[in-house]
Chain A
Amino acid sequence: MLSRCGMGLGALSLPGLLDIASADTKTSGNPLLPKSPHFPAKAKHVIHIFANGGPSQVDTWDPKEALQKYAGQEMPGGSPKTERKTGNIYPSPFKFERYGESGIDCSELFAKTASAHADKLCVIRSMYADVPNHEPSLLLMNTGEARLVRPSLGSWLTYGLGSENLNLPSFIAMCPGGYPIQESQNWQSGFLPGIFQGTYVDPKKGEAKDLIDYVTNNRMTVDGQRKALDLLSMLNAEHQKSRQEDPLIEARIQSMELAYRMQSEATDAFDTSKEPKHILDMYGPGVQAKQALIARRLVQRGVRMVQLWHGEGQPWDSHDHIERDHRKLAQESDQAIAALLTDLQQHGLLDETLIIWGGEFGRTPTVELPKEGSNQGTLSGRDHNHYGFTMWLAGGGVKGGQMYGATDEFGFKAVEKRAHVHDLHATILQLMGFDHTKLTYRSAGRDFRLTDVHGRVIHDWIA
């Protein structure tokens, strides 16, 4: 059972980290015990920074001179159909520069991230999705399926790999202030067992111990609880005497002890006040900083996947006032993202952690036209755009310092080396040690996979 798993080995840096080799999922009944992937993995953890709402590629990572040149003119050939009506070409209000030895293009919005880490980034400028609407695109990005109920990437990863730390949830989705659009379906476990579902945490809420459900007891002290659990052990031992060789009984005894330890460790993991001042300063103020720092603390403790959503609803959805709003949003997150990458590197975690940045789609290079009820009287934003957008990868196994693929002259459609969301998923699974066609789960008579019948691994992204 778990006692054989080498819990709390002195050789490991943090309590709760498991000795992977000796874990035994079947008899313990805990499906989160660590498992080996199909082949040696390049990354062990994922941090997905989700700029929900759809950040504009032509204002961040994909500069287009043509937008200045043809500013205010009609798109040659007209604009492809997006969610709402858009008008003429709308130039980016942001300044671009090239960063790093590899000369990665980036606007002033993410200058801190780019100047510190350009050569680590694989900037994919040729992403595309299927439709220009939030709901299906969010589900596609998270679960590989736009409408039906399917497990999310984090659920698949924890199903396939288990967790390295049983004292913490293995998949955590943080979103300040409330849920994004489509709510907890974004981190759903679908037909996988419920324990693989992402644990939602609102980093805006309360203190460390308020963040995870049921992790603290405000009615008894920890010492008092220990004494009570000792009484429980005695009762359980008596019960077990005449029920030998029942792994489920043993597992439940162990799970209570795990729960006891989880209380202090989970609270500790979320407590950023324990960080030294220079680290807190590096991340800066605000909730984006807080959740990025928590992400590092979680990954350090063996959590498999952490999602950092920018905020409730769809903050990056700048249908109007894109200059003001994108600037504000980037200001909230740029320093935190740069700090996260630096911090992970300093802790030796960057090599084993895959960082993903992006939204569910991008935005149009053309300006959104006013409509009754929305952005009335302004011509200052961009509509959704699934034809082409930018995401970037960094960290574990990623070939950094490259700009992969390209959109057309105006940044509307991905045209060179196009990469669908399914391809991104296939490649993420590859980095995590899985053949995406073979990580399957049988449900309702079918062997389901994250990529369904699609997806191809893009080896150019892999170091």
Chain B
Amino acid sequence: MALIFSPLRSSIQACRRFSAFEKLVVLVLASLVLVTWTATARADGAAAADKVHFFESKVRPVLVQHCYECHGADEANRGGDFRLDTPSSMLNGGSQGPAIVKGEPSKSRLVRAIEYDDSELQMPPEGKLSQEEIDSIKQWIQDGAEDPRPDEPVTTPHKSSFSDRQSQAKTHWAYQAFIDAPSKQEEVSLSSLELSKEIDKRVARKLAKNNLKFSPLANRRTLIRRLYVDLTGLPPTFDQIEKVQSDKSEDWYERLVSELLDSDAFGERMARRWMDVARYADNKGYVFKEDREYPYAYRYRDWLIRAFNTDLPYDEFLKYQIIADQLDPENSKGHLDAMGMLTLGRRFLNNKNDIADDRIDVVSRGFLGITVACARCHDHKFDPVSAADYYSLRAAFVGSDEPGGDPSPLRMIDKPKQEKVFVFLRGNQANRGPVVDRKFLTGILGEDAPMMSTGSGRFEIARSMVEDCKTLTARVYVNRLWTWITGQPIVDTPSDFGLRCEAPVQHDVLDLMASNFVRDGWSTKKLIQAIVLSRTYKQQSNHREDAYAIDPENRYFWKAKRRRMDFESFRDALLLATGTLDKTIGGPSVKIDSAPFSDRRTLYAYIDRQNLPSLFRTFDFASPDAHVAQRSETTVPQQGLVLMNSDIMMNLLDRFTKTETPIEDTAQSKSADAVGDLFKRILARVPTPAERTAIVEFCKAAIVEIPLTPENTWQYGYGKLNTELNRIEAFKPLPRFSEKSWMGSDGKLPDKELGWVSLSAEGGHSGAGLDRCAIRRWVAPRDGKVNVRGKLEHTPEKGDGVRGLVIANQDQVLGTWEVLHSDSQTKTKPFTIKKGEMIDFVIDAKENSSHDSFKWNCQIQYEQDQLTYDSSKHFMRTVPRSLDRWQQAAQMLLLSNEFCFVD
């Protein structure tokens, strides 16, 4: 920064010095002129000097003071492409055309700007110039805009540096052919096993050079768990581990690898990985009042699962996501949904430029590791990408339509007619620059850049990526695979292989894999197989002081990387441990952060792009707003809070008791077995004697029952109403919750004992007779003055209606209302209540108890702070019970580091 800055600043200073000297000359000249002016015809030179003087005294100081900061030589500070510090730049202007027209102030854009009449164009931004200053500038233009300043060539730094970057691209490692490819075998690809050995050879060579060596091989148990999580996203169960542990054959590992690669869970795991790349979400983001759902987004996700499970070659995988409309137009092979990659982004209030920008970004970073979107306003500052390259790509997306409906709601097709492509100067649509030849990535492909002439040009994008840009495409993807499987990237910026990305330490390993990948028919499974078969992958993950001292970042791969399970694996593992994981594959997305809680794998979660629930963000989930190169990895207490307290967790723990025998009920020996089972289910191993004892002791202690909580202010019951005294004479809770309502113990209506009496979130039904009135009771959590409001509604078309009563402390009637096929507001006078006192909302069936279903939303609001307790909003489906010790022990096993780290 300083290097760029100082020479420019000194050039400005040089200008100022020059002006002082020049002023002196001008003054002398001017006084000479004045003496002779009346006598002789005005000499051209002298007149010019006059004008120069005017400029220097009246105009230049204003420009220097108010304009140079943003419209001067300093590119870093410049507010636009327009300069006011040289004569030619003023005459030629910037992207908006000339700033001044000699002799015509009214046609001069500069004048328009300083006069402040046009709300879109007002300069200087900090405030209008004085009238005298404005008049001077107008006068100067009127007089021909004489300008003595040195006219340093108007450089277009972006353009020239674009060509610099273009030539740098010719030697940039990522854009070159594969290094050190085994040349004799060029046509023959290595088998996965051969490739894994070759990987190890190269890693070992570098380790040795740096006085490092591999860590010992991890033990079998560790490897089993590592493979399961890396390849399927699910940890192995106790039985699965036992089965492999007891496998006596030599090739147990290889067979396990094949088994897992062939499992359906593999495709699910990989699909979710790719969904980060594709910034997958189930909605459009903010689109004002338009429907924001993408109801068919899941079809793209399901296509990904199929693609990975069938090992669709990566070149085809790529092409379908960009041009499935041309490869499988009728969706006869089911590939049209692949276009969700393009069509499922944020919609930016349907601004087509921003939508296209998002698509350019997801394609260019996702497939090629090039940050093309940086070239929207100007040529890329660091990489060989010109604005023309950007607008050629833009044309491909604005030149496509999304017809929706069959054969796939996710597809995109070329528009029948393509428009001319312009650069938008500074990204401004209203500001058209030159027409561009539609060529694909001229900065990188140079002379070979293909014309994008087929329809929108998407065809050439897809083709060129797997042909002209083959090595780059392969490197980027192979680096992703390596990162996903081992947890540690070879290239640290997985979506930016641009000029600022140095060749990685493991360049040879990357190129070895990438070249073989291309020769081997772009097979994802075979490459992953090679990676996990390698010695490099199979080593231990433990810290080694000696190696750490030499290579703290593990660039040379002297150990494997221990990882915390990501959000998806972790939640899946929780479900697996509770035995409730639903392994159904595919289908519409499900909400996972609120009741009723889903048991589906986490990749089926509904992703709300606009308001991503805190649950996801807390666990470092990839932002669905834009392509994510790598998730961040944070350890924050909010994660602990979810695991300790969330309903999601409580729901899981509730399922524990259903299948576990509570420890207190069993004899000592049996309880020990129960502990053993608990460990097997959660940690997939048997406990140590010390752990056994600890759990048994922990469970022996009695629990302290939880106190009444404010959430629990509502109670659902029935009771007897004394209509003479208008008094509640008995209140009993309704014993069972079923479907949507609290009711009698049968769990269906009418109940044998209690009949129709029931209460739901919205209302309920009264029972027959005055001793079975439905009563919704609210217990005040604190003192205060409250207002009671509500709306009572009798909905059936028959019957004699119901009577509603609000009764405080069982005998103070605050109001009564009768409704018959009608509704009524149930507002009472303010009431002062003490903590623990109650308000009952009672429904009396009157004479006839059939057709007595009602709706009654009851609200109680404290005057002091407006806190409202709402019978519908705060409806409770369960009465919170204390977690028993057994559940608590299970919870701690689920929270343990052993459960969530993978060695």
Query: In the complex, A81→B361 CA distance in Å?
Result: 34
B586 to chain A, nearest CB (A): 27
A154 to chain B, nearest CB (A): 14
Residues of chain A within 8 A (CB-CB) of B867 are 204, 206-207
Contact yes or no, A228 B79, CB < 8 A: no
B293 at the interface (CB under 8 A from A): no
Query: In the complex, A397→B620 CA distance in Å?
Result: 35
Contact yes or no, A220 B625, CB < 8 A: no
Contact yes or no, B640 A255, CB < 8 A: yes
Known contacts A29-B633, A194-B620, A236-B897; decide if A229 and B641 are in contact (CB<8 Å).
Answer: no
Query: In the complex, A240→B903 CA distance in Å?
Result: 12
Residues of chain A within 8 A (CB-CB) of B629 are 444
Question: B632: nearest residue on chain A (CB-CB)?
Answer: A193
B502 at the interface (CB under 8 A from A): no
Contact yes or no, B638 A195, CB < 8 A: yes
A148 at the interface (CB under 8 A from B): yes
State which residues 865-903 of B face A: CB under 8 Å.
865-868, 880-883, 888-889, 891-893, 895-898, 900-901, 903
A199 at the interface (CB under 8 A from B): yes
A224 at the interface (CB under 8 A from B): yes
Interface of B is mostly: loop
Chain A 163-202: CB-based contact to B (< 8 A → 1; otherwise 0): 0001101000000000100111100111101110101100
Known contacts A206-B867, A244-B543, A287-B866; decide if A235 and B635 are in contact (CB<8 Å).
Answer: no
Query: In the complex, A416→B129 CA distance in Å?
Result: 9
State which residues 412-438 of A face B: CB under 8 Å.
413, 415-420
Residues of chain A within 8 A (CB-CB) of B361 are 444
B645 at the interface (CB under 8 A from A): yes
Contact yes or no, B637 A240, CB < 8 A: no
A6 at the interface (CB under 8 A from B): no
Query: In the complex, A117→B636 CA distance in Å?
Result: 39
Query: In the complex, A406→B684 CA distance in Å?
Result: 71
A450 to chain B, nearest CB (A): 17
A387 at the interface (CB under 8 A from B): yes
Most buried by B among A220, A221, A227, A245: A220
Residues of chain A within 8 A (CB-CB) of B865 are 272, 285, 287, 290
Contact yes or no, A232 B892, CB < 8 A: yes
Residues of chain B within 8 A (CB-CB) of A454 are 79
Residues of chain B within 8 A (CB-CB) of A167 are 637
Residues of chain A within 8 A (CB-CB) of B373 are 444-445
Stretch of A61-69, A98-106, A211-219 contacting B (4+ beta carbons < 8 Å): A211-219
Known contacts A214-B646, A262-B641, A415-B116; decide if A251 and B635 are in contact (CB<8 Å).
Answer: yes
Residues of chain B within 8 A (CB-CB) of A239 are 896-898, 901
State which residues 55-113 of B face A: CB under 8 Å.
79
B374 at the interface (CB under 8 A from A): yes
B267 to chain A, nearest CB (A): 26
Residues of chain A within 8 A (CB-CB) of B892 are 228-229, 231-232, 235
How many B residues are at the interface, by size bracket? Answer: 35 or more
Chain B 367-400: CB-based contact to A (< 8 A → 1; otherwise 0): 0000101100000111100000000000000000
A286 at the interface (CB under 8 A from B): yes
Contact yes or no, B650 A235, CB < 8 A: no
Number of interface residues of A (CB under 8 A): 97
Selected contact of B496 from candidates A234, A243, A263, A444, CB within 8 Å: A444
State which residues 49-81 of A face B: CB under 8 Å.
77, 80-81
Residues of chain A within 8 A (CB-CB) of B116 are 413, 415
A126 at the interface (CB under 8 A from B): yes
Residues of chain B within 8 A (CB-CB) of A379 are none
B43 at the interface (CB under 8 A from A): no
Contact yes or no, A30 B895, CB < 8 A: no
Residues of chain B within 8 A (CB-CB) of A287 are 865-866
Query: In the complex, A427→B903 CA distance in Å?
Result: 48
Query: In the complex, A239→B695 CA distance in Å?
Result: 16
Residues of chain B within 8 A (CB-CB) of A218 are 706, 709, 711-712, 880
Residues of chain A within 8 A (CB-CB) of B128 are 415-416
B890 to chain A, nearest CB (A): 10
Contact yes or no, B900 A214, CB < 8 A: no
Selected contact of A260 from candidates B117, B640, B650, B900, CB within 8 Å: B640
Query: In the complex, A463→B623 CA distance in Å?
Result: 39
A452 to chain B, nearest CB (A): 10
Query: In the complex, A242→B893 CA distance in Å?
Result: 18
Known contacts A232-B896, A240-B897, A248-B564; decide if A219 and B706 are in contact (CB<8 Å).
Answer: yes
Residues of chain B within 8 A (CB-CB) of A200 are 614
B772 at the interface (CB under 8 A from A): no
Residues of chain A within 8 A (CB-CB) of B620 are 193-195
Query: In the complex, A272→B864 CA distance in Å?
Result: 11
Residues of chain B within 8 A (CB-CB) of A415 are 116, 127-128
Residues of chain A within 8 A (CB-CB) of B645 are 214-217, 263
A227 to chain B, nearest CB (A): 7
Stretch of B181-189, B346-354, B573-581 contacting A (4+ beta carbons < 8 Å): B346-354
Query: In the complex, A220→B889 CA distance in Å?
Result: 12
A259 at the interface (CB under 8 A from B): yes
Query: In the complex, A209→B646 CA distance in Å?
Result: 13
Contact yes or no, B127 A210, CB < 8 A: no
Selected contact of B126 from candidates A190, A195, A418, CB within 8 Å: A418
Contact yes or no, B288 A259, CB < 8 A: no
Most buried by A among B285, B626, B710, B897: B897
Contact yes or no, B632 A194, CB < 8 A: yes
Residues of chain A within 8 A (CB-CB) of B354 are 147-148
Contact yes or no, A31 B640, CB < 8 A: no
Contact yes or no, B650 A252, CB < 8 A: no
Contact yes or no, B710 A207, CB < 8 A: yes
Known contacts A206-B710, A219-B706, A418-B126; decide if A184 and B610 are in contact (CB<8 Å).
Answer: yes
Known contacts A194-B632, A220-B883, A445-B383; decide if A183 and B610 are in contact (CB<8 Å).
Answer: yes
Contact yes or no, A252 B564, CB < 8 A: yes
Residues of chain A within 8 A (CB-CB) of B495 are 444
Contact yes or no, B119 A80, CB < 8 A: yes
Query: In the complex, A236→B617 CA distance in Å?
Result: 25
Contact yes or no, B710 A262, CB < 8 A: no
Residues of chain A within 8 A (CB-CB) of B380 are 445
A405 at the interface (CB under 8 A from B): yes
Contact yes or no, B498 A183, CB < 8 A: no
A246 at the interface (CB under 8 A from B): yes
State which residues 32-62 of A face B: CB under 8 Å.
32
Question: B889: nearest residue on chain A (CB-CB)?
Answer: A231
A372 at the interface (CB under 8 A from B): no
Query: In the complex, A217→B881 CA distance in Å?
Result: 11
Chain B 589-625: CB-based contact to A (< 8 A → 1; otherwise 0): 0000000000000000000001110111110110101
Query: In the complex, A238→B863 CA distance in Å?
Result: 53
Question: A168: nearest residue on chain B (CB-CB)?
Answer: B637
Most buried by B among A77, A194, A273: A194
Known contacts A194-B620, A227-B698, A240-B897; decide if A418 and B562 are in contact (CB<8 Å).
Answer: no
Known contacts A219-B650, A445-B382; decide if A195 and B636 are in contact (CB<8 Å).
Answer: yes
Contact yes or no, B704 A224, CB < 8 A: yes
A268 at the interface (CB under 8 A from B): no
Contact surface of A with B, Cβ cutoff 8 Å: 28-32, 77, 80-81, 126, 135, 147-149, 166-167, 169, 179, 182-185, 188-191, 193-195, 197, 199-200, 204, 206-207, 209-210, 213-221, 223-225, 227-229, 231-232, 234-236, 238-240, 242-246, 248-249, 251-253, 255-256, 258-263, 272-273, 285-287, 290, 387, 405, 413, 415-420, 444-446, 453-454
Task: Give 10 A-B pairs besides A221-B707, A235-B892 with Cβ atoms closer than 8 angstroms.
Answer: A191-B625, A200-B614, A207-B867, A235-B896, A235-B898, A243-B901, A259-B641, A415-B127, A418-B125, A445-B382
Q: List 20 A-B contacts (CB under 8 A).
A: A28-B635, A77-B117, A135-B288, A135-B349, A189-B617, A190-B623, A204-B867, A204-B868, A220-B882, A221-B704, A235-B691, A244-B542, A246-B562, A444-B626, A444-B627, A445-B365, A445-B382, A445-B383, A445-B500, A453-B79
Which are the 10 A-B pairs with shortest beta-carbon distances?
A445-B371, A259-B640, A194-B617, A29-B635, A258-B637, A193-B632, A259-B637, A245-B543, A251-B635, A214-B641
